[in-house]
Amino acid sequence: MISLAGRDILHGWGKFVLTGVGLGLLIGVTLSMAGVYRGMIDDAQALLDNSGADLWVVQKDTLGPYAEPSSLNEDTERPIRAMAGVDRAAGVTYLTMQIAHQGKDVRVMVVGAEFAQPGEPGQPPHLIAGRRIVQAHYEAVADVKTGFAIGDQVKVRRNTFRIVGLTSRMVSSGGDPMLFLSLKDAQEAQFEKDSDAIVRQRARTASSPVLNPPGNPAVLEAVNAAQAGSTNVNAVLVTVAAGSDPDAVAAAIRRWQRVTVYTRAQMEEILVDKMIANSARQIGMFLVILAIVSAAIVAFIIYTMTIGKIREIAVLKLIGTRNRTIAGMILQQALGLGLIGFAVGKIAASFWAPFFPKYVLLLPADSVRGFLAVMAICALASLLAIHAALKVDPAEAIGG
Amino acid sequence: MAEGIRIENLIKTYGSGDTAVHALRGVNMSVAKGEVVGLIGPSGSGKSTLLKCLGAVIEPTSGRMTIGDRVIYDDGWKVGDLRALRRDLIGFIFQAPYLIPFLDVTDNVALLPMLAGKSNAQARKEARKLLEALDVAHRAAAMPSQLSGGEQQRVAIARALVNRPPVILADEPTAPLDSVRALAVVDLLNTMARQFETAIIIVTHDEKIIPTFRRLYNIRDGVTVEEAPAGSPGPDDAGKS
Ligand SMILES: Nc1ncnc2c1ncn2[C@@H]1O[C@H](COP(=O)(O)OP(=O)(O)O)[C@@H](O)[C@H]1O
Ligand SMILES: [Mg+2]
């Protein structure tokens, strides 16, 4: 037996392939949407992995430092470091800002980390070029996605930094590349007021009889010094000693300090389930709509193709073709359309993924799922046409 | 001559009660193998209904139908698989060729033996034999749309014959043709009927071909009357064309 579906497709292949390509672009968009979602999750996991932390200590009752603002005094780290089961503890600051670079604005997440010794949590775990920050001030390490090069000078607020090293895959949960500064420099950028504000605050302090008692200028100086600078961090990252249970250490820190502590699993839940959840639902809606549109297109095309063959189908039935053979012919055509569509979609998605501004992660498992979904949708969409074909009366081939 | 198809007192009533249409009121007919008979009658007389009953696409109300010595219908179908019956025992020729547009000429004909379970190679071999007999073997690889109307009709006849059915039903096969071509088709069907020992029933109201039938059934108000057309060759001339 020959393949009736195959012969029909070959006979009108131009229309069939064009339809398949159109469907394929739609499938490509669908696969990319799934890739955007996977990319968001992967960014979040990279953020957590690359921070090198086992525990996140944040301001009490906040979901900080990524999902909510959190502010702690950097001195919080000292008693934590002394606790049993804690290996290292280091303060970090996170601040998303725009930086002018070669005439363009680059959106980065400025990370302040402790660089006094290598291996402190919060530092970039690997460099792809250059060296780590060794001086206390005015050096920076940038993610390659910033577009910065070693030796570049970038201005963060009032100070200029020299890029001494490059790292990769260091992005915020929003996909912005990171720019690492020493903790002190980052604190200055984050918490320091601009000159205007300082002038105004100094004037207010000077005019207050309490802060500037007449005849005692030393008090005013002391107050100004205390107001300048900041010793706050957004979180303290903790690594636990080998053999210690992170949950137990977290419980101990919670008991002794007025802070909130998250484990890696809890942090992942905050990032993935809380921060990304809405975007995921958004993308889910798109996937549902795209699936329905694809199904409608396949159903419409296959139905039109079948209706155009009603006479041939009546003849086929009259000369003894079984319903199964005719249904199989229509089903195979729908699946053939799906096959072309999926191939085109997969190629299109792989082709345009790198041009997306955010990370698009095309997982092979998602492709397999997408393929099965396309085949299921095509099979479902062919039911309407199969129904119409099976209703055809072989007597129609004989004139009335 | 051996019997091809016989119909006894065939009745077909569409609907029931007040709206019942008595399309066939008791048709009797018998066609021998190798014989071609005409079936004529005014519009609405029941020709198509009779053809559909013979073709096993609608069920008669009562009566009896045999093909060869096989009882097909006796107040109810006597065969379980009507599709297989149509495929193996009945060839169809329609008003238009109705070839399958996406199959080439060979496979249009070979499709029937394939449906009957023969291998592609065997089916194509049989198809080619028929195409040769009908003088269209040189178009074996063409698509139907590339053929002339006459060539298409020949391929359609080859398709009707390829499974060597004892009966062929032709529904107005000459309607779209001019008289030269129409007579050529009837001539061809006569030749094929003898060559393949097939009983052929041609439904027509084509005045051009009516005189060529040696036997003619005229159906009026659902009843057949056998008549010999004026000026038709007598039974002694059987075998000439
Ligand atoms: N499916 C049907 N339902 C009801 N009546 C029908 C149907 N088909 C045909 N008829 C009626 O049966 C009669 C015979 O019709 P038909 O067999 O088509 O005649 P012909 O082919 O000779 O013109 C007509 O009166 C027609 O209206
Ligand atoms: Mg009719």
Strand-strand pairing, A159-167 and A153-156:
antiparallel
Q: Which of B121, B116, B204, B120 is nearest to B164 (CA)?
A: B116
Q: B175 C-alpha to center of ligand 1: Å?
A: 19
Residues around ligand 2, an ion, CB closer than 5 A: B 48
- HEC-encoded secondary structure of chain A: CCCHHHHHHHHCHHHHHHHHHHHHHHHHHHHHHHHHHHHHHHHHHHHHHHHCCCEEEEECCCCCCCCCCCCEEHHHHHHHHCCCCEEEEEEEEEEEEEEEECCEEEEEEEEEECCCCCCCCCCCCCCCEECCCCCCCCEEEEEHHHCCCCCCEEEECCEEEEEEEEECCCECCCCCEEEEEEHHHHHHHHHCCCHHHHHHHHHHHHHCCCCCCCCCHHHHHHHHHHHCCCCEECEEEEEECCCCCHHHHHHHHHHHCCEEEEEHHHHHHHHHHHHCHHHHHHHHHHHHHHHHHHHHHHHHHHHHHHHCCHHHHHHHHHCCCCHHHHHHHHHHHHHHHHHHHHHHHHHHHHHHHHHCCCCCCCCHHHHHHHHHHHHHHHHHHHHHHHHHHHHCCHHHHCCC
Closest ligand 1 atom to residue B49 Cα is 17
**Residue-level pLDDT at B240:** 41
Tens-place pLDDT, residues A238-292: 999 988 999 999 999 998 888 999 999 999 999 888 878 888 888 889 888 988 8
The answer to whether the beta carbons of residues B37 and B213 sit under 8 Å apart is yes
Tell me the shortest Cα–Cα distance from A10 to chain B, in angstroms.
Answer: 8
* Domain boundaries, given as residue ranges, for chain A: 4-43+277-398, 60-192+229-258
Q: How far apart are CA A279 and CA A34, in angstroms?
A: 11
Which one-letter amino acid corresponds to residue A5?
A
Q: Which residues of B touch A319 (CB under 8 A)?
A: 86-87, 92, 111-112, 115, 159
Locate tokens 């996977």: which residue?
A38
Please count the CA atoms within 13 angstroms of the CA of A285 that sit on its side-chain side: 5
**Residue-level pLDDT at B93:** 92
Q: Which residue of B has its CA nearest to A326?
A: B115
Q: B21 C-alpha to center of ligand 1: Å?
A: 8
Grouped pLDDT means (10 residues each) for chain B, 241 residues: 89 92 94 94 90 93 94 94 92 90 96 94 95 93 93 93 94 84 90 93 90 91 78 46 40
Q: B92 C-alpha to center of ligand 2: Å?
A: 15
Closest ligand 1 atom to residue B43 Cα is 23
What residues line ligand 1, using a CB cutoff of 6 Å?
A 400; B 14-15, 21, 23, 41, 43-49
Contact B95 A399 (CB under 8 A): yes
- Judged on CB neighbours under 10 Å (0-12, 13-18, 19+), A302 is buried
Q: Which residues of A touch B171 (CB under 8 A)?
A: 398-399
CA A374 to the chain's CA centroid: 25
Contact B107 A7 (CB under 8 A): yes
Q: A165 C-alpha to center of ligand 2: Å?
A: 90
Tell me the shortest Cα–Cα distance from B166 to chain A, in angstroms.
Answer: 14
Spans in chain A with pLDDT lower than 70: 191-195, 225-230, 400
Atom 6 (ligand 1) nearest CA: B14
Closest ligand 1 atom to residue B45 Cα is 22
**Residue-level pLDDT at A387:** 95
Q: Provide the 3-class DSSP secondary structure of residue B123.
A: helix
Tell me the shortest Cα–Cα distance from A390 to chain B, in angstroms.
Answer: 14
Q: How far apart are CA A93 and CA A129, in angstroms?
A: 24
Q: Does A265 touch chain B (CB under 8 A)?
A: no
Q: Which residues of B touch A1 (CB under 8 A)?
A: 114-115, 120
Tell me the shortest Cα–Cα distance from A293 to chain B, in angstroms.
Answer: 29
The answer to whether the beta carbons of residues B137 and B176 sit under 8 Å apart is no
Nearest neighbour of A318 by CB, restricted to B57, B107, B111:
B57
- Judged on CB neighbours under 10 Å (0-12, 13-18, 19+), A130 is middle
Q: How far apart are CA A385 and CA B97, in angstroms?
A: 25
**Residue-level pLDDT at A182:** 93
Contact A398 B115 (CB under 8 A): no
Q: How far apart are CA A86 and CA A130, in angstroms?
A: 31
Contact B159 A318 (CB under 8 A): no
| Chain B interface with A: residues with Cβ < 8 Å | 48, 51-52, 55, 57-58, 83-84, 86-88, 92, 94-95, 98, 100-103, 107, 111-112, 114-116, 120, 143, 159, 171-172
Q: Which residue of A has its CA nearest to B44?
A: A400
CATH 3.40.50.300 is right for the domain spanning B3-237: yes
The pTM of the full predicted model, rounded to 2 decimals, is: 0.78
Q: How far apart are CA B241 and CA B238, in angstroms?
A: 8
Q: Which residues of B touch A400 (CB under 8 A)?
A: 48
Nearest neighbour of B94 by CB, restricted to A10, A320, A397:
A397
H or E segment to which residue B54 belongs: helix B47-54
Count contacts between A and B (CB, < 8 Å). Answer: 76
The answer to whether the beta carbons of residues B49 and B12 sit under 8 Å apart is yes
**Residue-level pLDDT at B198:** 95
